[in-house]
Amino acid sequence: MAATAAGVFHTSYASELRLRHTSAERLRLVLVVAGLLTLPWLVNPYWLGIVNTIGIAAIGAVGLNILVGFTGQISLGQGGFLAVGAFTSGLLVQRAGLPVPLAMAAAVLVTAAVGAFFGLPALRLKGLYLAIATIASQEIIIFVVRRWGWLTGGQGFLDVDRLTLFGWRVPRTSFEFVWYWIIAGLAVLAVVTARNLFRTALGRSFMAVRDHDIAASAIGVDLTRTKLMAFAVSSGYVGLAGALTAHYTQTVTWERFTIDVSIQYLAMIIVGGLGSVAGAVYGAAFIMLLPPLLAELADALRTRVPLLADQLPAVQAAAFGLVIVLFLLFEPRGLDRIWRRVKDYVRFWPFRY
Amino acid sequence: MITREYRFPLNSSTVPAGEPVLTVSDVGLRFGGVQALDGVGLTVRQGQIHAVIGPNGAGKSSLLNCVSGLYRPQRGTIRLTRADGAVDLVGRRPHQIARLGLARSFQNIELFKHLTVLENLMLGRHHRMSHALLPALAWFGPARRQEIEHRALVEEVIDLLELQVVRHQPVGALSYGYAKRVELGRALCMQPAVLLLDEPMAGMNAEEKESLARYVLDVNELAGVSVVLIEHDMDVVMDISHTVTVLDFGRLIADGPPEQVRTDPAVINAYLGEAAR
């Protein structure tokens, strides 16, 4: 069990319901906010681009964790739902001429609806059986975007214009900089709303379904409604991540949304910590940073260990697998749990416990 | 003696004391070739502790599962008396029955093990809370207000069952006795019309049983909740219940006040044994 700060006494339920109780926790929040506000001036555009992809992945991982980590419904359909968000938003801008913010909002709603529809098997299936059913939804969605001529010209491919906001076309020179603020803003919004969700009745009912569905129904939780709601809410976040991908990368192609992506996202929430909002963010950062950091390492060791640089893609894939295995073996509750242990250690120092 | 004023009534039934609140009649349940329940009927009266006893496999838990909607009997009716008349529970889904006022505990502890005691108890309030998505995402406003409002009742249940020290502990880490009490608490937080307890004292030692029996009595006497109690410990059953129903092989073999049931030859033969005479 995680340690709780001593000497914190509440005199009202309202104060106990706050997310932060100690000055150390508040200080950390200030530092995180300050870091987010200064980051774009601290790193070069290449790394800022990586930060942007982390932000998008974090939104998608928070969404997936709502479904898998908090509601216990295993899903391998993440890639498909990302595709729905990306194609919806891309098509609405390119074909219907909708402004980007409006198209992205529509993508969130459409993906939520599609997610709820593909959540229907969850009413009958659990665990591995549900995982297989969600693979079906993944494949169906990718099949549709690849083959539906009217939608994507039968190529599963769509070019998206460079971002225009309220009539202002974002210049190429400050592209990553502008996108950073959009993505960081939305990622913060995603994290805050997800944290809020799980301190309310609705979020608690998701966790009740995960822990014990029969007991949940015996206390009045409507399993049908709750499971479909979890699929819809989760897919809404994923749809946002998909829409951001479309406008940020300016190309939407089905190859970006295959089952490999679904597995990559599952890896994020396993590495980060199932059932933890912060964990989803840590996991997204970890998985997205792994390939560029390995590339840096290979570059640095080019003269001494040329194999590393020559076989970089293979090394990256192997490292990805190794990391997941190591986490499952040594800390199945992920980075979030490791961070908690670090905090406990500092809090108790110099005592062991 | 310390008495405490509670703000919230935990009993939501409006039936006058002594009148039937839950009426089971002629219930038949068959699993393939096994007749689990065969024409069972009983009447639970408001304000009573109604025990259901019988040997293993007699159909006690099956009966409870029929009442709470987990099983669907092929025959019979199960009526809950409410202010607006009686409703038949057969054919309704478990969450609908829970919303009508039937709260239950399970034979094996069925708590939400990754959540804290407080969260488990707050889930007992689930069916009386709003689950709108946008207020939940926004937190400030209706969602926060609702949490605080329902917390007040939950704290009274924590007080009644003396769960203060474990309030913020995850239930997975609790001792057996505490876990059983949390399950009782979760059901109470629902403000039930009838409380169904499936072997709440199974696997406990004498002291733990005594302590839990005290809580069940408090729930019945202080909070006025009608209780249906499945239990194997005859001492507890004879001590605290007002009415006892005895099942054997899915059939009802006796029904009445404990002192009458204790001397019933059919009950002695099927369940109690000669030594109890």
Per-residue pLDDT tens digits for A221-246: 999 999 999 999 999 999 999 999 99
pLDDT category at A111 given cuts 50, 70, 90 is very high
C-alpha to C-alpha distance for A153 and A86, rounded to whole angstroms? 16
Residues in A closer than 8 angstroms to B104, CB to CB, are 218
Quick check: A3 pLDDT over 60?
no
For a pLDDT cut of 70, what percent of chain A falls above it? 98
C-alpha to C-alpha distance for A308 and A330, rounded to whole angstroms? 26
Asked if this assembly's ipTM is beyond 0.90, the reply is yes
Domain presence at residue A27: no
Give residue A1's pLDDT. Answer: 42
Q: How far is CA B236 from CA A17, B199, B204, B218, in A?
A: 40, 11, 12, 14
Domain presence at residue A327: yes
C-alpha to C-alpha distance for B273 and B277, rounded to whole angstroms? 8
Give residue A5's pLDDT. Answer: 58
Domain presence at residue A324: yes
Cβ–Cβ below 8 Å for A218 and B104: yes
Chain mean position to CA A205: 21
Q: What's the CATH number where A198 sits?
A: 1.10.3470
Letter for the amino acid at A139? E
The bridge status of strand B226-230 relative to strand B194-198 is parallel
Phi-psi category of B2—alpha, beta or left, where left has phi over 0 and alpha has psi -120 to 50? beta
Token output for A1: 């069990």
Domain presence at residue A3: no
Domain presence at residue A6: no
C-alpha to C-alpha distance for B187 and B195, rounded to whole angstroms? 7
Domains and CATH numbers, chain B: 19-101+192-277 (3.40.50.300), 113-190 (no CATH)
Alpha helices by DSSP H, B14-93: 60-67
Domain presence at residue A31: no
Give the containing element (helix H, strand E) for B232.
none
Q: How far is CA A172 from CA A163, A164, A176, in A?
A: 10, 12, 8
C-alpha to C-alpha distance for A273 and A19, rounded to whole angstroms? 19
Our CA-based measurement puts residue A288 at a distance from the nearest CA of chain B, in whole angstroms, of 27
Give residue A8's pLDDT. Answer: 77
Quick check: A23 pLDDT over 50?
yes
- Closest by Cβ to B112, choosing from A197, A201, A211: A211
Domain presence at residue A30: no
What is the per-residue burial (b if ≥16 Cβ within 10 Å, else e) of B219-255?
Answer: bbeebebbbbbbbebbebbbebbbbbbbbbebbbbbb
Domain that holds residue A125: 42-348
Region A41-68: mean pLDDT is 96
Q: What is the pLDDT of residues A189-211, one digit of tens each?
A: 999 999 999 999 999 999 999 99
Work out how many domains chain A is built from and give that number: 1
| Below-70 pLDDT ranges, chain B | 1-4, 275-277
**CB within 8 Å of B105: residues ≥ 6 apart:** B180, B183, B184, B186, B187, B196, B197, B198, B200
Domain presence at residue A330: yes
Phi–psi pair at B123, nearest 5 degrees: -65, -25
Mean pLDDT score of chain A: 92
Quick check: A183 pLDDT over 50?
yes
Our CA-based measurement puts residue A307 at a distance from the nearest CA of chain B, in whole angstroms, of 46
- Closest by Cβ to A13, choosing from B99, B148, B169: B148
Residues in B closer than 8 angstroms to A17, CB to CB, are 144, 147-148
Q: Tell me the HSE value of A281 on the side-chain side, using a 13 A CA sphere.
A: 17
Angle at B126 between CA B125 and CA B132, to 5 degrees: 130
Q: What is the pLDDT of residues A283-328, one digit of tens each?
A: 999 999 999 998 888 888 888 888 888 888 888 889 888 988 999 8
